[in-house]
Structures are given as structure tokens and as C-alpha cells.
Amino acid sequence: MTNSPAYVFTPPPVVSVPVAGSTHRYAVHRVYCVGRNYEEHAKEMGFTGREPPFFFLKPADAIVAVDAGTVGTLPYPSLTKNFHHEIELVVAIGTGGKDIKAADAHAHIFGYAVGLDMTRRDLQGEMKKAGRPWCIGKGFDHSAPIGPITPTALAGDVNHADLFVQVNGTDRQRSNVAKLIWNVAETIEHLSAAWELMPGDLIYTGTPEGVAAVVTGDILVGSVAGLGELHIKVV
């Protein structure tokens, strides 16, 4: 007999993401994001050169999990007039650890997914300018759409995969994961030096150039080759 604790309110549901080819779901622990991890995007944001990777987080319940073959809905957020898409490869950690070396990183990865790091760019810009945290620009409700997680064995060579996002059928961002400044293994090395990674941790690895605004009614189609497509409508 287990004696389960009594709560003062019903605990929130477990946030989870579908797994391609499985009826099991991936339970989310944390959502880490890498900033400025493609050179051309760093330039368009006003930076140059290879600086050590830096990280920010989104709340786990900012995840909008979209099943394969369906169109997810993304509410246009409050307070912004400049709501940007950032197409990203997402890494799903399956085995935790700290101080993981890049050479050992692969063994910690459960799979990969297509994600959008949605950003209230105007608010992020104001916070940057004031030297304040980015939370309001990056960590708002529904800010992390994601498609199904493809297990590593089925994902192909994601480190050299083309990725793109189209808005209403027109290309906005198009690049290749090989252009990451800090690749997946190196990112895991840096991240796990700062936090102990846990199963359920998602890592949004950064976005290439071409970030731009969406408006209500827009249809976004994001893709990373080998991982399927993420379809979402701004409502």
C-alpha cells in the first residue's frame, strides 16, 4: 500500500510529446534552448564570432505537442506586435547525466523532433536593451510547438539534415543542421556542465537566419529532414 500525499488542488497533468512509431509518449521534464547557434542568425541579431553557447529555458507547459498529420493551434500571444518563428532541431534526452563529454553525448539522446522557438521579439528586444531576463520574450504560454519525437535509430543523420519553415507556403528560413556553431554533442557537453540533464529534457538547438513575424491566420510548416513536418496555425 502506498500512501499518496493529499494536494491542496489537483496537480497539473504531465506534459508529453508523441513518439513516432509508438503508442508511448515522451514525458517532458524541462525545455532548454540555445541562443544564437547559427552564424547567419547571430549576424542578423547583431552579433559576430563564435562565443560560448548560452542557454535559456521555457516552462515545460509551454510545449504545444502536435501529432503527425494534424495541424496544431498556436494562440497569438498577448503584449506583442512582433511574434517571430524560429525553426529548430530539438534533441530529446533519454538518459540523464552531468558533465557529459561530447564524445559520449549520443548515448544520452532518446530522439529528435522539429520544434518552433516562438518569440515575442519586441519584448525580448526591450529586455535585452535593459539587461533584464528574456522570460517574457521567450518563456510565455504556448511558446514551444513541437512535432513527434523520432527515436535516434529511426532519425537518420540529423547532424546534416536540411531544415526549413514556410509561412503560408512561402520559405522563411532554410538551412542545414551542419551549420550549427555548437553541434548537438558539443551543446550537450556545455549544457550538462551547467545543469544535470534528466530524461524528459528537451533541447531547442537554435535557429538559422530568416526569423520573421507571423500574424493571426498564418499557417506554419516546419521541417527537419528525417523527422517529418510540424504544421501549426496561428489563431
What's the CA gap between 29 and 197, in Å, rounded? 9
- Choose, by CB under 5 A, the member of 41, 110, 112, 117 that binds Mn ion: 117
190 vs 206: CA distance, rounded Å? 14
Out of 31, 207, 208, 230, which residue is the one contacting Mn ion (CB under 5 A)? Answer: 207
Candidate ranges 85-93, 170-178, 186-194, 223-231; the one touching Mn ion (CB under 5 A) = 85-93
Ranges within 50-79 binding Mn ion (CB under 5 A): none
To Mn ion, the closest distance from the beta carbon of 115 in angstroms equals: 9
**Total length of the chain:** 235
Point out the residue whose Cβ comes nearest to Mn ion: 117
Q: How far apart are CA 89 and CA 174, in angstroms?
A: 12
Which of 117, 189 has the CB closer to Mn ion?
117
Please state, in angstroms and rounded to a whole number, the distance separating the CA atoms of residues 222 and 76: 18
Stretch that binds Mn ion, among 2-10, 50-58, 159-167, 206-214 (CB under 5 A): 206-214
| 173 scored as a contact of Mn ion (CB under 5 A) | no
Q: Which of 42, 32, 90 shows the shortest CA–CA distance to 222?
A: 90
The stretch among 146-154, 171-179, 199-207, 215-223 that binds Mn ion (CB under 5 A) is 199-207
Q: Are 16 and 27 in contact (CB under 8 A)?
A: yes
Nearer to Mn ion, 104 or 135 (CB): 135
Residues 6+ apart with CB under 8 A from 214: 83, 84, 85, 167, 220, 234
Residues that bind Mn ion (CB under 5 A): 86, 117, 207
